[in-house]
Structure 1
Amino acid sequence: YSKDASNGSVSLSNISYADSESQLQQDTANDEDDRGQWGNKAEFVLSCIGLSVGLGNVWRFPYLAYEHGGAAFLIAYIILQLLIGKPMYFMELVMGQYSGSGPTKVWRMNPAAKGVGISMCIISVIVAIYYNIIMAYTLLFFFSSMQATLPWTQCAEVSSHRVCVFLSPLQIVLLYKMYSQTLSNDASPSVTLADQELCVGISMCIISVIVAIYYNIIMAYTLLFFFSSMQATLPWTQCAEEWVTAYNCVTTRSMSLSKCTDNITTNFMMGNCSCTGNSTIDNSSMPLNMTCSPEIKTRTAAELFFYKEVIQKSDGIEPDQMGAPLYKLALCLLLSWIVVVICLIKGIKSSGKVVYFTATFPYVILLILLVRGSLLDGALDGVKFFIIPDWDKLADIKVWTAAAGQMFFSLSVSFGGIIMFGSYNKFTNKVYYDSLLISVMDLITSVIAGFVVFTTFGGMAKSVGKSVKDVAEGGYGLAFVVYPEALSNLPPSQLWSVLFFFMLFTLGLDSEFGLMETVLTCIQDEFPKTRKYKSYICVGLSIACFFLALPCTCPGGDYVVTIMDHYGADFSVLILSCIEVISVMWVYGVMRFLKDIEYMLGSRPHGWPYWVFCWTITSPLLIGLLFLYRMIEYSPPTYAGGAPYPQFAQAIGWALLSFALCPVPLVFFWRLFKSFQAQEVNTFTDRLKFMFSPTPEWGPNDGKRKRTLQDNQTKATGYDNLAFRSENPAIPVDDKSSRF
């Protein structure tokens, strides 16, 4: 082993091997065939893009940008990506590629932190469970879109004193404007022409399971909407008959409401209104007869379709309000899991082929929607709102915490998937450039999605003469309420709805691949004999996740999804990421990590002082501060009215968080216990070295290189850890007493 001091490159030309080179090559080939590798570089890059670019980029990023100052949020997001996101993404790819191991086995580098990998797997399962519920929503909307009239574009027959309002949200805003004019004693309010327009690794596995379950819930939503789009009448464009008797509903087919020529007695938005006679649109009149109950708030047809038809949301999470699984949603959830199993049945060999379509198709649809949205009158107003910063917002810590949360959610850092994907790379793959490309693509996708959303919002706002912020909505509301309504006004509405919800489903599918493959890789790495049964394990795990997700398909399931997201993936990932970066860069040693990169790629990464600074200072410091702020400002999930979830629901959430993170301390104390049993481990320093030093099995994902490094171990308990000494000598192969 030799090192060129002039450029920091590593040469293997002088290495001699104890065994024959042919035997070592055979060992390496057997390892690769047993575990598998990517068919080519494109499969790896597209899989990583698919994991990082998900549903959160489409609905979460644009709304957070709107809520936190437009471009100010973008600036905070980019800064945090540079200081935390990119460095940690690169770090995890290197960990996986260098070792050829998944989130649990990679912690041979620091055995006391193996619990982090297990927690990653647990969190991945949690997210996969509830994510597939959202995909089920999407499927339901997809199938509902295949109708002559979209079911969310009109209300059913109006009766009684309760009114269901079909809008476009434009129309609700317009009615609110009419009400405002009434308050100013204008007896005949008018509408202008303008208005009419394992410790770490094990936790990673747990988190992966949790996230996978949650993600499939989202996919079930997506499938439900997808199938609902296949109708002549989109179901969210009209009110069902039962909504008429229970909620305020009125059919208003005009794109813009004008003035009510008789009288408006009180606030339509709050459900207390009366408007009889005619409404005028461009000097022509149409009948308009609306009567509202003062007790009930007016709801839109699309809103009612989602909350009363798709998820049939109950009033609370109490056991007597949970209800039974909804068969339509459960079937969409089942279909979503079946698609996941089919795509993962052969591991990366099958999913690597699927991502050629699923990772690229969303960009086609996003670009089509961007062009279509740009043609709307008022689109420029939406773009200005999105890109013009509110500089005062940068001083608000909430903007930075929101940007950090979106960064982790989007890049999938500390979920274990990045380590897993990197582990299937060839040892010499130029992973440095891959990490830069993927993180840049994630940012570009978020920005494109932002333009798509805000050009549409700009057109909606222009039609009613209101600002963009008055028609924007986040979360589920953006994906399954506001956007379906906006698409219903773009002829042919069925086509746009089908394309949009199919795009959402493919986005969720890519993320689901990464979450589930993380868990499967953890199992196979820990128990290599199970590799021959991978198909059966994949089916069994998916069946288990399907049944775990069934409560999310009940009328009270929306509250369950909130708990899984709030406790199972949000808090836990912040904690894991902080422990992860400290375990690697401060315990394993940042200089040792750089040497591993040199050994793998032949040289240090470009701009390596920047990486070292971020890995050792900014990443752990900023993550720690963000977590501390989140704990200080902690508040439990709340109902729509602001009341917190009941104590038992919060207790379940904390139990879920504890379950996801418990492998971290358990593995640590187990390693500590083993240190007391080890021979020749007497002093405190020796005990620390035993706990934190890499095991003898740790090394490169390359038979020849790994054997060379193992031959240079100093003792049976593992490599000496650079973090416990200041010198950093070269590694002469012929001196087996030397330290590495």
Structure 2
Amino acid sequence: MAPERWRHHLDYLITLLGGSIGSGSLIKFPYLCMRNGGGAFLIPYAIFTFLGAIPCVFLEMVIGQLSQSGPINVWNLCPPFKGIGFGIATVMWLYVTYYMAIFAWFMYYFYHSFIAKLPWATCDNSWNTPACITNIDSSILNSTSANVTNLTLIVVNTTTTGNYTNVTDTVMTAAEEFWKLQALQMTDGLEDLGGIRLPFVGLMAVTCVVMFLVTFQGIRVSGKVVYVTVGVPIILVFVFLIQGCLLPGSADGIYFYVHPKFEKLLEPGMWIEACSLALYSLNIAMGNIITMAGHNRVTNNCFRDVLIVSIADMLCLILVGFAFFAIIGHVAYLRGVPVEAYESSGFNLAFIIYPEVMTYLPLPHVWSALTFLALMTLEVDSMLPGLEIILAAVEDMFRGLAKHRWAVISTILLTNFLFALPCTTQGGIYVVTLMDWYTYFPAVAVFAMLECVAVSWCYGLERLNQDIRAMWGKKVPQAMMLSIKYVCPLLLLVRLQTMVNRKQY
């Protein structure tokens, strides 16, 4: 049975771009730039994108389009490696499971952005402790610069997690107390999950309904939805950039971003992290490139597509960096601290730093709502391909179920919902972090290495070249093939080693 076709080729490109950007672009990229010398980080990131990421994406596009199938049957070209497809489908099921919980967290913050008084802006709420530190008011800002500097440094460096410097074990900002004491009602560790947070259960149920409505009609609907879920965040990033540039201090933030600290290039860790980001940002070995390419016509030019998607993804990340550092520059100016003071990653950046930063902007409710709207739409872009991959894997194994797509998707979402319930407990953040560390990120690097080995060493690059000439009648540069065979496995090995030694959050 022939696979469902894209109504328009642009639907395919936008879907891949949405899956590549994801909510991680607003979390991971700014942190890595700040951590690694601003503009200097863009140099190795661009190098590894062209040297390793583009060849890997090209490989997946070619075999997906050639096989015209999902993540399991694609390995009919090299049957001993069919386990890659089963592994990818399993990992993507776990991925969608804990991303549903993260999406519920974003929705929780989006809802609270419409409350008359932002709950993470003040310390007079019922959950706040006596040690809570609120944002600096105008009277303090008008005091002497020395006092402002002393106070704001304490405010910035009070968290006990992430990359902050501990001042005390009890002092937390209002934004941190809202996240830990009100939103999560966080326990002390994984061994104590506590009770279920009913608001998150309800929001996850809403998430399941939304994802069902988007996916049950196939790529005819989801291929159009991505125009919204990709377009809205990009428009909002432009809005943030324009607004940020109009605020005092934004130039300092942008200068930090674009001014390269070339001495950072001498640090091996910077190159390793740039390599990891380049390979991560394009969703290599996550199955969505293979699955989405399987809906193309066999004669489609994959080489053109991989250049479009990869370069567009890089430009979007760079744009996010400009918007982020413009806003951070303004907040650092108000507080009298350097831009580097806001170095944080993962959940700390998304649920503590971002909400706190929004309180310093004009009309904070509007900016907070827009921020979490962007994160929610990007999270949809991340989950959509995941569901399509799982569905394609099921159809690869049980062809008859293709006629009952709605039932299969309902079953998948129901199992995701049930297994995500531990993520909605008071210790749910520990469960999400554990799944992130040990089931998702290390696995995809292993699968990517196996893909390169299976195609370049077992199937053979010469046979692959013949297939490419038969598909669209043109050869690809020999450097691309050599990179797939030699360079990509080495870079993926480096990325795997990085994941083993360093946690993602």
TM-score normalized with structure 2 length: 0.92
- Corresponding residue of 1:718: none
Q: 2:115 aligns to what SS in structure 1? A: strand
CA distance in 1, matches of 2:44, 2:264: 10
- Please state how far the C-alpha of 1:486 moved relative to its aligned partner: 1.9
Counterpart of 1:387 in structure 2 is 258
Q: 1:115 to 1:256 in 2, by over 3 A?
A: farther
CA distance in 2, matches of 1:127, 1:83: 27
Question: Does residue 98 of structure 2 align to residue 138 of structure 1?
Answer: no
Query: Closer, same or farther in 2 for the Cα pair 1:431/1:529, shift >3 Å?
Result: same
Alignment CA distance shift 1:250-1:397 (3 Å): closer
Q: Aligned partners of 2:504 and 2:317: how far apart in 1?
A: 26
| CA distance in 2 between partners of 1:538 and 1:599 (Å) | 35
Q: Which residue of 2 is the match for residue 311 of structure 1?
A: 184
Residue 439, structure 1, aligned to residue 310, structure 2 = yes
Number of the residue aligned with 2:458 = 587
Confirm whether residue 241 of structure 1 aligns to residue 126 of structure 2: yes
Taking a change above 3 Å as real, the CA distance of residues 495 and 95 of structure 1, as seen in their structure-2 partners, is same
The aligned runs of 1:360-379 (5 Å cut-off) are 360-379=231-250
1:193-592 alignment to 2 at 5 Å?
240-245=125-130, 247-249=131-133, 252-254=136-138, 256-259=140-143, 296-318=169-191, 321-592=192-463
Distance, in Å, in 1 between the alignment partners of 2:168 and 2:352 is 23
CA distance in 2, matches of 1:295, 1:89: 47
Contact 1:103 1:420 (C-alpha < 8 Å) held by counterparts: yes
- Structure 1, residues 293-339: CA drift from partner, whole Å, max 9, x if none? x9753211111111211112211111xx2112101122112211211
Deviation string 1:672-705 (CA, Å, 9 cap, x unpaired) is: xxxxxxxxxxxxxxxxxxxxxxxxxxxxxxxxxx
Give, in angstroms, the shift of residue 389 of structure 1.
2.1
Contact 2:12/2:292 (<8 A) preserved: yes
SS in 2 for 1:425: coil
> 1:260-292: CA deviations, max 9, x gaps?
99x99x999779xxxxxxxxxxxxxxxxxxxxx
SS where residue 138 of structure 2 aligns? coil
Q: Secondary structure at the match of 2:92?
A: helix
Question: What is the SS of the residue equivalent to 2:297?
Answer: coil
CA-CA distance at 1:361 after TM superposition: 1.2
Aligned equivalents of 1:629, 1:353: Cα separation in 2: 37
CA distance in structure 1 between the partners assigned to 2:387 and 2:296 by the alignment: 18
Q: Which amino acid aligns with 1:412?
A: N
Cα deviations across residues 649-676 of structure 1 (Å, max 9, x unaligned)? xxxxxxxxxxxxxxxxxxxxxxxxxxxx
Match of 1:79 among 28, 47, 64: 47
Conservation of the 8 A alpha-carbon contact between 2:132 and 2:177 = no
Q: Which residue of 1 aligns with 2:493?
A: 624
Across the aligned residues of Structure 1 and Structure 2, the Cα RMSD in angstroms comes to 2.3
Question: How far off its partner does 1:147 sit?
Answer: 2.0
Is this contact kept in 1: 2:233–2:374, CA < 8 A?
Answer: yes
* Residue 417 of structure 1: how far off its partner (Å): 0.6
The two structures have a TM-score, normalised by structure 1, of 0.64
Give the 3-state SS of the residue equivalent to 1:48 in structure 2.
helix
Residues 127, 569 of structure 1: 8 Å contact kept: yes
Residue 93 (str. 1) matches residue 71 (str. 2): no
CA deviation profile, 1:323-361 (whole Å, cap 9, x unmatched): 121011221122112111110111212211211211211
Q: Deviations over 1:122-169 (max 9, x none)?
A: 11112111222221111111111112222212221xxxxxxxxxxxxx
Distance in 2 of aligned mates of 1:404 and 1:625: 8
Residues 412-466 of structure 1: per-residue CA shift (max 9 Å, x gap): 1000110000000111122221111111111011111111111111111112332
- Contact 1:96 1:420 (8 Å CA) reproduced: yes
**Does the 8 Å CA contact 2:288/2:385 hold for their aligned counterparts?**
yes
Give the distance between the partners of 2:103 and 2:290, measured in 1 at CA: 25
| Residue 467 to residue 107, structure 1, CA distance change in 2 (3 Å) | same
Q: Secondary structure at the match of 1:107?
A: helix
Unpaired stretches in structure 1, ≥5 consecutive residues: 1-30, 157-239, 272-293, 639-740
Relative to structure 1, the CA distance from residue 394 to residue 527 in structure 2 (aligned partners, 3 Å threshold; closer, same or farther) is same
Summarize the Cα distance change of 1:635–1:616 in structure 2 as closer, same or farther, 3 Å threshold.
closer
Q: Deviations over 1:531-575 (max 9, x none)?
A: 011110101110100111111111111111111111111211111
Do 1:154 and 1:253's aligned partners in 2 also have CA atoms closer than 8 Å?
A: no
| Worse overlay, 424-433 or 367-376 | 424-433
The aligned amino acid for 1:524 is E
SS at match of 1:359: helix
**Larger strand proportion of the pair:** 1
Kept after mapping to 2: 8 A contact 1:139/1:505: yes
> SS state of the match for residue 55, structure 2?
helix
Matched residue of 1:582: which SS? helix
Identity of aligned residues (%): 31
Structure 1 residue 615: Cα displacement: 0.9
Structure 2 residue matching 1:615: 3-state secondary structure? helix
The one-letter code matched in structure 2 to 1:315 is D
1:622: Cα distance to partner? 2.2
Given the superposition, is the C-alpha separation of residues 109 and 85 from structure 1 closer, same or farther in structure 2, using an over 3 Å criterion? Answer: same
Aligned partner of 1:28 in structure 2 is none
Q: What amino acid does structure 2 have at the position aligned with 1:254?
A: S
Change over 3 Å in CA distance of 1:389–1:260 after alignment to 2: closer
One-letter identity of the residue aligned with 2:46:
I
Query: Does residue 1:615 correspond to 2:488, yes or no?
Result: no
SS in 2 for 1:444: helix
Q: Is the 8 A contact 2:127 2:182 kept in 1?
A: no
Whole-angstrom CA distance in 1 between matches of 2:427 and 2:144: 39
Q: Is the 8 A contact 1:59 1:479 kept in 2?
A: yes
Distance 2:245 2:348 in 1: 22
1:248 shift after superposition:
2.8
Q: 2:329 touches 2:339 (CA, 8 Å); kept in 1?
A: yes
Q: Which has the higher contact order (CA 8 A, sep 6+)?
A: 2
Q: Which residue of 2 aligns with 1:150?
A: 118
Q: Quick one: structure 1 residues 469 and 588, their matched pair in 2 at CA, closer, same or farther if it must change by over 3 Å?
A: same
Cα separation, 1, equivalents of 2:177 and 2:481: 52
Distance, in Å, in 1 between the alignment partners of 2:370 and 2:473 is 46
Give the letter for the 1:501 counterpart.
F
Larger helix proportion of the pair = 2
Between the aligned partners of 2:502 and 2:431, the Cα distance in structure 1 is 17
The answer to whether the Cα contact below 8 Å between 2:33 and 2:257 also exists between their aligned partners in 1 is: yes
